[in-house]
Amino acid sequence: MPDQQPDDDVAFLAARVERARGRLAYQFDPALNEALSEDELQAERELAERIRTLDREQRWKHSQAQGVASDRVRDTVEEIEKADIRDLMAARRAIASQRRESSPHARLASLYRARAWSLRALAGVVVAGMLWSAVNVQHNIAPTGAADPLYWFSYLIEAMISACLVIIMIGTNKVAEWGILDSRRKVAMAEVALLALTVGLNTYPYVHKGNWYDAAVHGIAPVMIGVALLVHDAASARYGLAITRATQLVRDSPDPVSGEHAESAEEPQADTSNPHPAYSQMPPGALDDDAPQTEFQREMADLSARFQSSR
């Protein structure tokens, strides 16, 4: 037994040396240091997931920015197109306004419209003054009340005066359109007499009492009727003269619709042989879809197409 103990130690050391030599062959292998543990593998997995999440967020933000930029570009183009259309329409309106101001036909039409509105305004002044005068005269003649028959019939006095003034006012304007200006003295005398009568009926109670302030206040309405009649007479004469001169210019200038002079234009004769005279009088190409368009129509069509394409 004592002889076997050294042999066992030697065998043990030999085995240990063999194991050490085997370990020495692998202990410097890089795989021992580079191999990741389970915790490191889980951390790397979490890191990769976070990186991919951030990458998706950045791509989404980039897509949003591109969408916002596209919307801004589209809105800007649309605003520019609308501004172009507004500018074109404003320019066309300015050109049309300039043509109307320089066209004898448009100036003649403007004269007729101005005369109509002026005479209507003067007629309104006369009617308001007549209503005031009618009520005032009624109170002056029959102040007792509705039981007095004159309370109702007194309105007829101012109505008779007003009817004569209206007839003079309308008749003077109508005959002046035909250049009839005779009997002006008789007409003026009739107007003065009627105005004096209506002023007297409106102010006589206050003049009789010496109350000049109330007389002046109640005389405003009939005096305004007289002023309106004078202005109406002057305006009718001036507008009639202006329209006569404008008509002469229109006769010497071509018609903007037909291109012919007004004095040389003849009234078309009825033609019973043609069942559709309206189509025969239309210019060539009026019903043709391929007929040439005006410059304004071409510009509007171009802008409309650009506006639709931008949307």
pLDDT digits (tens, 9 = 90+) for 243-257: 888 888 777 666 555
Backbone angles phi, psi at 254, to 5 degrees: -70, 150
Residue with tokens 């002079």: 261
pLDDT tens digits for range 104-120: 777 788 888 888 888 88
For 35-44, 241-250, 301-310, which range has the lowest pLDDT when averaged over its residues?
Answer: 301-310
What pLDDT is attached to residue 5? 63
pLDDT score recorded for residue 82: 92
Q: Which residues contact 21 (CB under 8 A, 6 or more apart)?
A: none
Q: What is the mean pLDDT of residues 163-183?
A: 73
Q: Is the pLDDT of residue 174 over 90?
A: no
Residue of higher predicted confidence among 224 and 188: 224
Query: Which residues on neighbouring strands pair with residue 261, listed in sequence order?
Result: 254
- The predicted pLDDT at position 146 comes to 67
Rounded to an integer, the average pLDDT of 26-50 is 84
> What is the per-residue pLDDT for 26?
73
For residue range 260-301, what is the model confidence (pLDDT) as tens digits?
Answer: 554 444 444 444 444 443 334 444 444 444 444 555 556 666
Q: Where are the domains of the chain?
A: 41-102, 104-252
Residue 201 has pLDDT above 50, yes or no: yes
Is pLDDT above 50 for 41?
yes
Q: Could you give the count of Cα atoms lying within 13 Å of 83 in the half-sphere of its Cβ? A: 6
The predicted structure's pLDDT at residue 177? 65
pLDDT at residue 42 greater than cutoff 50: yes
Strand partners, 254: 261
pLDDT higher for 270 or 237?
237
pTM: 0.49
Distance separating alpha carbons of residues 236 and 168, to the nearest angstrom: 12
